[in-house]
Amino acid sequence: MNARFEGSFLGDASRIAADAVLECKICWYGYDPAAGDDARQVPPGTPFTALPDDWRCPQCDGARDQFMVVDAGSAEPAPTIAEQARLLEAGFREVFQNKMRDTPFVNRSLSVEAVGFRAWGERALGVLVAPWFMNMVVLPAPGEDWSRFAAGEKRVFAFPSGDYEFIANARGHVGPYFACSLFSPMSDFSSQLQATETARAVLAALFDDKARDVGDEAGTIRDLRVSELERQRQAEAARNAAPTRRALITGGLAGATGDAGT
């Protein structure tokens, strides 16, 4: 949390941690919950949000809503990418245990594993391997609210190798995310290592702009491209018969099925 905001009057009171220090905008008096406020007999340990309603700046009598956060205190920090990836794994291990384990759709030599999750701009990107699918997954940036996307809603993300259609989903503690199907089912994989190596190869190919020179089937997606130069390159590429883009980034491995990327 690095935004400064005024008191509790802009709807942000819930974001003020119990130990956050706030400062009077007029005279720079600081209210530190650890110290309280002797002048008003506010005991140490009183959060800013628990001060009496008529509390004012003890130094200049300034209004309480003129105070700004200067030290956010222990407000919950945004989860790290590694933590987000672990939550994703935990969520899908639960699905495996509760729903998929005894179905014919699973490859029993595989397990749920988040592979190669890294920062992608302010968001996070990686591949989720599971016994019944392999998906590219994009996680929201800290503070980015994707709860407005209904499950199944589509969104295009642009990468150096091309633009890919992702589908909104959400799962328990993971919250909303976007996924692009790479493989489903996973019957062609013989080991977890083979699956995770494929996942890493996909991520590498995703950022390989040479893949863009190969035609793809995503004509409507192309319209979203911002650069005229890129549009020209794509128009030229589309004239050449070539494998689909997804077949390209998945190395043409058999088993790349489904309609993601179309």
Residue closer to Fe ion, measured from CB, 59 or 80: 59
Contact range with Fe ion by CB under 5 A, out of 3-11, 54-62, 174-182, 251-259: 54-62
d(CA 161, CA 218): 12
| 60 lies in the binding site for Fe ion (CB under 5 A) | yes
Closer residue to Fe ion (CB): 63 or 100: 63
By the 8 A CB rule, do 137 and 167 touch? no
**What minimum distance in Å lies between the beta carbon of 61 and Fe ion?**
7
Give, rounded to a whole angstrom, the gap between the first and last alpha carbons of the chain. Answer: 39
Instruction: Tell which one of 43, 59, 197, 210 touches Fe ion (CB under 5 A).
Output: 59
Count of residues interacting with Fe ion (CB under 5 A) = 8
Read off the amino acid at residue 185.
Answer: P
Transcribe 176-221 into DSSP letters.
Answer: EEEEEEEESS-TT---HHHHHHHHHHHHHHHT-GGGGGS--S-HHH
Q: Kindly tell me which residue out of 21, 22, 42, 57 binds Fe ion, with binding defined by CB under 5 A.
A: 57
- Residue 131 token pair: 């016994």
User: Whole-number minimum distance, CB 29 to Fe ion, in Å?
Assistant: 4
Residue 31 Cβ vs Fe ion, minimum distance, rounded to whole Å? 10
Q: Of 57 and 136, which CB lies nearer to Fe ion in the complex structure?
A: 57
Least Cβ distance, residue 2 to Fe ion (angstroms):
23
Burial label, 98 (beta-carbon count in 10 A; 0-12, 13-18, 19+): exposed
Q: What's the CA gap between 115 and 198, in Å, rounded? A: 10
Closest to Fe ion by CB, 4 vs 200, is 4
Minimum Å gap between C-beta 13 and Fe ion is 20
Q: Is 63 in the site for Fe ion (CB under 5 A)?
A: no
Pick 5 or 29: Cβ nearer Fe ion: 29
Select from 8-16, 51-59, 79-87, 108-116 the region that touches Fe ion (CB under 5 A). 51-59
**Rounded to the nearest whole angstrom, what is the least distance from the CB of residue 57 to Fe ion in the complex?**
3
Contact 42, 36 (CB under 8 A): yes
List of long-range contacts for 25-30, beta carbons under 8 Å, 24+ apart: 25/62, 25/66, 25/67, 25/68, 26/57, 26/60, 26/62, 26/66, 27/57, 27/59, 27/60, 27/62, 29/57, 29/58, 29/59, 29/60, 29/62, 30/70
Considering beta carbons, is residue 9 or 105 the nearer one to Fe ion?
9
Binder to Fe ion among 47, 62, 142, 255 (CB under 5 A)? Answer: 62
Closer Cβ to Fe ion, 56 or 93, answer by number: 56
Q: Which residues ranging from 5 to 44 are in contact with Fe ion (CB under 5 A)? A: 24, 26-27, 29
For Fe ion, the binding residues (CB under 5 A) are: 24, 26-27, 29, 57, 59-60, 62
